[in-house]
Amino acid sequence: MKWTETLIPTLREAPSDAEILSHKLLLRAGLIRKLAGGVYTFLPLGLRVLRKVEQIIREEMDRAGAIEVLMPALQPREIWEQTGRAETAKGVLFKVRDGADREWFLSPTAEEVITTLAAHEISSYRQLPRNFYQISTKFRDEIRPRFGLMRAKEFIMKDAYSFDVSDAAAMASYQKMYAAYHRIFDRCGLQNFPVEADSGVIGGSHSHEFMVPADTGENEVVFCEACGYAANREKATSGVPGTAAREPGGAPEQFATPGVVTIEALSREPYGVAAHRQIKTLVYLVEDSPVLVLIRGDDQLNETKFSARTGGLTFRPATPEECVEILGARPGSLGAVRRVPAEVRVLADERLRGANDMTTGANEDGFHLRHVAMDRDVRVSDWFDLRTVAAGEPCVKCGQPLNIRRAIEVGHVFKLGTKYSEKLGASYLDESGARRPCVMGCYGIGVTRTLQAIIEQGNDKDGIIWPLSVAPYQVCLTPLQVAAGHPVMELAETLYRELTARGVEVLLDDRDERPGVKFKDADLVGFPIRVAIGEKSLARGQVEIKPRRGALLAVDCAAAVSGIMAQLQPPG
RNA sequence: CGGAGCGUAGCUCAGCCUGGCUAGAGCACUUGCUUUGGGAGCAAGACGUCGCAGGUUCGAAUCCUGUCGCUCCGACCA
């Protein structure tokens, strides 16, 4: 391809609405353009990279035995009603109506569609296992799209769905996808690692996210360098010690704490109650029912864990007025020792188990209670792990200190069980003729997000640095004279023909621009190899091969093609 | 949806506070000349409903109200 015959609108400056580096580079290198918030056009170069990432995914999915299909983006409302997700997923669903006023959803994912297909087409254990995948445009009405392709309203996702005869067989399918994901991200040149993850609204028992470390990532990952434990912070646990028991201090005793409404204030003189000897009492409304959450004063509630445990579709912290209504006091003086209505559920964090001589609110503004023993004085409905792990806590597996870092989630694998197959009738007859629900798994890769993650991880001050495997073109030929018939241009055209004939993807920068402009643009776009052909080097009978990441190499014209081909070999 | 900020040329921005002549700069674009190994120079030119709609005023890019869009923080995130 010749530069002047395609569209590569590079920008010297980044548009002001781009915040993070990879988003700026996507725009500056002419890969994408924004149509509206969270909605982008892929320009020729961006599309080429996208196709390469897709192809890697396709090859690895095929290798793992998955079969490609293409499902509709337009999905009838009814199947979503059947699984109950018309309600639970309504926050992200784009809804459209046809001329007959029938409601349709634009596909944010396709469990309902594929399970409906399986219900029709799979009837025997002989047809299992099966794993169907597609690469297609997905729509999610993200509340706040951001960071370019990272979180968009319309994006490209690879989604796969496995159907198995049993839990054990489903686990094997899961492992296959897990391994395939590793290969996919490795081939994309990404540092990546799987972490234990929360299953969220989609449900299921077991899930891992594939993370790419990046400071701009939206996820926090807890990991242990010693043993390899890694989990999303929403899910992570640690080996923090429980709360030490003390000599019983007698019955709960109320004392005045005027104006004290924070853990921190109570820890100061004249009270001097250490944060870890306090019980923090939070009031939430889960689908309008009040729930108390007890957590140690020095811990933070993990709302994802809380939500997973309550199983409610919606929850929110109670307002101060609602706290008064429920417990008779305002936040800052709340506790679970007295005046707790019998119908209110009380969840306590495991770390409080057996704790005594604790201090907590008295449910009377301006008063606290001391000498509180969890076992004796608090009616706990359920004990759960509800706290948020902090850096430096001992690893739950090996005891070494945990670290926390930010990362981009590029893939997510779930073991789904029979949640969808039961609701949509995807079942099979086993050897004994008994009807059983298929055991499912689902597996997603954010293709467009992966593309941006590659940029986020591969760049320097001059621009993008593409791995060979996904570069829009492997080689950029940069003749410094472009007049037809000029020896420089003639050599460039010869190299272009010879490299193309060898299957190399070459972009010929035939723009009549000054050398500096061409070099800057080649660096910005990030071609793995740039070949400069100018009068000066040609006078010595040479061309210059410049790997994007590496030193310039002058080679004889006759050896140019073989020199370039050598650079294209994978290292090692 | 809560909080904050921003909408002026294709892009980056100035002008706004304190209303006033023909609305500006750099880059990009067109033409010509010069230049030609890391974002050239000179000259000429084209490009604007100052987001939109109301209002105040003799007069609004500037002040007020509403509205739409964009960005950031939060909530959300299969």
Q: What's the complex ipTM?
A: 0.94
What pLDDT shows up at residue A572? 54
Instruction: Report whether A477 contacts A506 (CB < 8 A).
Output: yes
- Does pLDDT of A76 surpass 80? yes
Both tokens of A248, joined, read 């019983």
Q: What share of chain A is helix, strand, coil (3-state, %, to 5)?
A: 30, 30, 40
pLDDT in tens, A25-67: 999 999 999 988 899 999 999 999 999 999 999 999 999 999 9
Instruction: Report whether A185 contacts A411 (CB < 8 A).
Output: yes
- Distance between CA atoms of residues A121 and A128, nearest Å: 11
* Nucleotide minimizing C1' to CA distance for residue A148: B71
Phi/psi at A119 (nearest 5 deg)?
A: -60, -35
**Cβ partners under 8 Å of residue A113, min gap 6:** A71, A72, A75, A79, A107
Residue A17's pLDDT band, with cuts at 50, 70 and 90, is confident
Instruction: Report whether A455 contacts A481 (CB < 8 A).
Output: no
pLDDT in tens, A247-268: 877 899 999 999 888 898 999 8
List the nucleotides on chain B closer than 7 A to a protein CB: 1-2, 11-13, 26-28, 35-40, 69-78
Amino acid identity of A503? G
- Distance between CA atoms of residues A179 and A195, nearest Å: 13
Both tokens of A207, joined, read 């899930």
Q: How open is the CA angle A469-A474-A480, to the nearest 5 degrees?
A: 160
Domains assigned to chain A: 16-237+404-455 (3.30.930.10), 253-384 (3.90.960.10), 473-567 (3.40.50.800)
**Cβ partners under 8 Å of residue A348, min gap 6:** A293, A294, A295, A374, A378, A380, A382, A383, A384, A386
pLDDT in tens, A407-465: 999 999 999 999 999 999 999 999 999 999 999 999 999 999 999 999 999 999 999 99
Residue A286's pLDDT band, with cuts at 50, 70 and 90, is confident
* Nucleotide minimizing C1' to CA distance for residue A523: B38
pLDDT in tens, A312-350: 667 888 888 888 889 999 888 999 998 899 999 999 999
Residue A202's pLDDT band, with cuts at 50, 70 and 90, is low
Q: What is the DSSP string of A31-69?
A: SEEEEETTEEEEPHHHHHHHHHHHHHHHHHHHHTT-EE-
Q: Whose CA is nearest the C1' atom of nucleotide B35?
A: A514
Instruction: Report whether A48 contacts A114 (CB < 8 A).
Output: no
- Distance between CA atoms of residues A425 and A416, nearest Å: 15
**Cβ partners under 8 Å of residue A562, min gap 6:** none
Classified as helix, coil or strand, A371 is: strand
- Does pLDDT of A373 surpass 90? yes
Instruction: Report whether A349 contacts A309 (CB < 8 A).
Output: no
* Nucleotide minimizing C1' to CA distance for residue A218: B77
| Maximal C-alpha separation, chain A | 100
- Residue A537 (CA) to nucleotide B37 (C1'), in angstroms, measures 9
Residue ranges with strand state E in A108-205: 130-139, 154-164, 193-196
Closest CA to A387 of A282, A286, A264: A282
Residue A144's pLDDT band, with cuts at 50, 70 and 90, is confident
Q: CA of A324: how far to CAs of A85, A273, A329, A332, A380, in Å?
A: 35, 24, 4, 11, 21
- Residue A530 (CA) to nucleotide B36 (C1'), in angstroms, measures 19
